[in-house]
Structure 1
Amino acid sequence: MTSDLPVIGACLPVDALADYRDWLLEADRDIEVQSFFFAETLDNDWQPLAEETRRQLDGHKGRIGIHGPFWGFTIHSMDPAIRRVVEMRMMQGLDVCKAIGADQMVIHSPYTTWDHNNLDNIPGSRAKVIEFTHDTLDAVVKRAEDQGVTLVIENIMDINPAERRALADSFNSDRVKLSVDTGHAHYAHGSTGAPPVDYFIQDAGAQLEHVHLQDADGYADRHWSLGEGTILWDAVFRAIAELDHGPRLVLELRDKTRIPRSMAYLTERGLAR
């Protein structure tokens, strides 16, 4: 039945919320606000932007999240001074969550293509990634727990999804979960030998709380409309259907005007609504 299909939401900057407000409210679709990850925004007066977000989402009863800060750093920096800067940025992200009523924040995985081939090259390297990430995020996770915000770790260059899952598990917190970006996984599959996208979904399993839906060609991070690339969407949605819970499924397209095209693709195939 159509009503049994997962409901799709979207990633949108604040200035695009008005364009999709009716669509978001009609089914209380999940929304990921993507206007608060720039340092220039966080270091200046972002309160008016937060107020506009609340105004645009007035009456919306779906789940609200944000994409947290990520430009220019990694969460597992070897430099302790940089780790303090990253901690501060994440705290600013939690400030935004509190201001707009968001209960989820996307953060980026630390694992790189280089890591995949070198974590076992020097003894202790794998443990160092976890140690440095904890030094960056332990206080952030504690605040997220107190605030009721879940941090979801998104795959970026990850080749082995189990590494990211082990990192999330190491926090032993209900407020640290996983995100899968379909285009990133497909890039890693096509270019660096990672498994296909549905394997990333399966590996995340009960830890999966968030999915960025975007199509790609396995070569670059395209953020194309669904159906334009080569991701096997039937397999992806079969893997999602096997889950015992409903992660947030949000379209993350470079061209926001193609959201209706992606929705048409999904509905025509009977994959989502």
Structure 2
Amino acid sequence: MTAELPVIGACLPVSAIAQYRDWLFDSQRDIELQSFHEAEVLEGDWKPVAEEAKRLLDGHQGRIGIHGPFWGFTIDSIDFEIRRIVEKRMMQGLDVCAAVNATHMVIHSPYTTWGENNMDNVAGTRDRILELTHDTLDAVVRRAENQGVVLVVENIMDVDPADRRGLVDSFNSSSVKLSVDTGHAHYAHGSTGAPPVDYFIQDAGAALEHVHLQDADGYADRHWSIGEGNILWPSVFRAISKLEQKPRLVLELRDKNDIPASMKFITENGLGR
């Protein structure tokens, strides 16, 4: 029975891999490297950090990914010059993926709380979001396809998960899929009228390739240890268990020292291993 439970991985900066290396290797857990999302890093010499990650993960057979760049922009910017900068940042992220053998890169959804209430206020707004996002990402997606990387679009302020699913479907590409961040979904549920977290999982369905596991209180983006907030975890893992595919399930905690406590909660409640 235990063997059927999903294997839980983690999001870690390269500097924290050594602390959790034995745990990562014991079940070949998935890892998301979170050392390469800042512009200053991507514009600098990040290769020594990538080499250190490869050294520490030598022999690791779990799936590797990175969190892509996101600070300071949206992927549907109206400014054409900003869209080219965003395209450049995403290409730099794919450079990192190639260097560390990563097969997923997290990118952020363009949908906002403001947009939820205004997309139908001005005719054509929904289509415009798709148009601008495609202008930003089409070349990135083509490269990701050739490189064997899946771009997973993470909910940030999304209220209606169907909007993000429609955006992903519009690419008609195996290299563009969905990510659900449980804390973001719970914030939106508690504060902006979104459905509960398990509904986000259900709506993503076959397109769900990645989940950020973090607990929260429905008021802010807490990134708390699992069990510290009030997310209804049995419903979340029940929704995940109904999927035919096995998305990457990675703990994304503000304090990486909370990983053992999170795993204790998950294992003692029979949710994962």
Note the residue ranges of structure 1 that are not aligned, 5 or more in a row.
none
Aligned to 1:224: 224
Equivalent-residue separation in structure 1 for 2:35 and 2:47 (angstroms):
12
Equivalent-residue separation in structure 1 for 2:240 and 2:222 (angstroms):
22
Following superposition, the deviation at residue 27 of structure 1 comes to 0.5
Query: What pairs up with 1:124-203 in 2 under 5 angstroms?
Result: 124-203=124-203
Secondary structure in structure 2 of the residue aligned to 1:179: strand
Secondary structure in structure 2 of the residue aligned to 1:267: helix
Equivalent-residue separation in structure 2 for 1:46 and 1:32 (angstroms):
16
Following superposition, the deviation at residue 131 of structure 1 comes to 0.2
Following superposition, the deviation at residue 168 of structure 1 comes to 0.1
Query: What pairs up with 1:10-49 in 2 under 5 angstroms?
Result: 10-49=10-49
Please report the TM-score for the alignment, with normalisation by the length of structure 1: 1.00
Aligned to 2:69: 69
Aligned to 2:52: 52
Equivalent-residue separation in structure 2 for 1:179 and 1:113 (angstroms):
18
Aligned to 2:4: 4
Secondary structure in structure 2 of the residue aligned to 1:206: helix
Alignment pair present for 1:97 and 2:97: yes
Note the residue ranges of structure 2 that are not aligned, 5 or more in a row.
none
Secondary structure in structure 2 of the residue aligned to 1:44: coil
Q: Could you tell me which amino acid in structure 1 is paired with residue 11 of structure 2?
A: C
Q: Could you tell me which amino acid in structure 2 is paired with residue 218 of structure 1?
A: G
State the superposition RMSD in angstroms: 0.3
Following superposition, the deviation at residue 218 of structure 1 comes to 0.1
Question: Could you give the per-residue CA deviations for residues 174-203 of structure 1, whole angstroms, max 9, x where no partner exists?
Answer: 100000000000000000000000000000
Equivalent-residue separation in structure 1 for 2:133 and 2:153 (angstroms):
12
Identical counterparts, % of pairs: 74
Q: Could you tell me which amino acid in structure 2 is paired with residue 252 of structure 1?
A: E
Equivalent-residue separation in structure 2 for 1:155 and 1:245 (angstroms):
20
Write out the 4+ residue segments of structure 1 that deviate beyond 2 Å after TM superposition: none
Question: Could you give the per-residue CA deviations for residues 206-247 of structure 1, whole angstroms, max 9, x where no partner exists?
Answer: 000000000000000000000000000000000000101100
Please report the TM-score for the alignment, with normalisation by the length of structure 2: 1.00
